[in-house]
Amino acid sequence: MIKKMNHVAVVVDDLEAAKRFWVDTLGLVLAGEEHVASQAVDVAFLPVGDSKIELLQPTDAESGVARYLQKRGAGMHHICFEVDDIEAALAKLKTAEIQLINEQPVLGSDGRKFAFIHPKAANGVLVELYELTAE
C-alpha cells in the first residue's frame, strides 16, 4: 500500500539559518518555499533521491508545530509516506485498532488527501499518509 517516502519533516526555529546548513553547506537543492496557512508554517522543500527533506518554521506561536518546537526543540517532526489509496489504508489501520489522529482523510488546499497516524501507535514516530490525487 505504500509507494515511497514522500518526505521527512524537520521543525526549525529559523528557516534562513536552517537553509544555510541544509542547502549552502550540506548541498541539498532548494526546490521551493511556501507558506502553508492551514498549518501555520513556512516550508522549504529540499528534494533528495525520490524523497524530500521539508524544513518547517512555525509562523504562529499557538500552532501544533510551534508547540512541538517549544516542547521538544528543533528536530525531526514526521515521516510522510505516499499511498495509492488513503481510504483503504485508513480502513486497514482501523481494523488493526491503530490509533489515528485523522480518522478520515483531510483534503489539503492543493487537492491532496492526507491523514496522520498517532505516534503512540508507531514507536513514537508521527506518520503521515498522503495520497496524490489524479489531476
CB of 109 to a copy of itself, least distance (A): 25
Residues that bind a copy of itself (CB under 8 A): 1-5, 8, 10-12, 18, 21-22, 24-28, 48-51, 53, 55, 73-76, 79, 81, 92-93, 96, 98, 119, 121-125, 127
Distance between CA atoms of residues 43 and 10, nearest Å: 10
At 116 the three-state DSSP class reads strand
CB of 133 to a copy of itself, least distance (A): 19
Looking at the DSSP bridge assignments, the partners of residue 82 are 4, 130
Label residue 108 exposed, middle or buried (CB < 10 Å: 0-12, 13-18, 19+): middle
CB of 25 to a copy of itself, least distance (A): 5
CB of 19 to a copy of itself, least distance (A): 10
Encode burial over 2-15: b for 16+ CB neighbours within 10 A, e otherwise: eeeebbbbbbbeeb
Between 15 and 40, whose beta carbon lies closer to a copy of itself?
Answer: 15
Between 87 and 109, whose beta carbon lies closer to a copy of itself?
Answer: 87
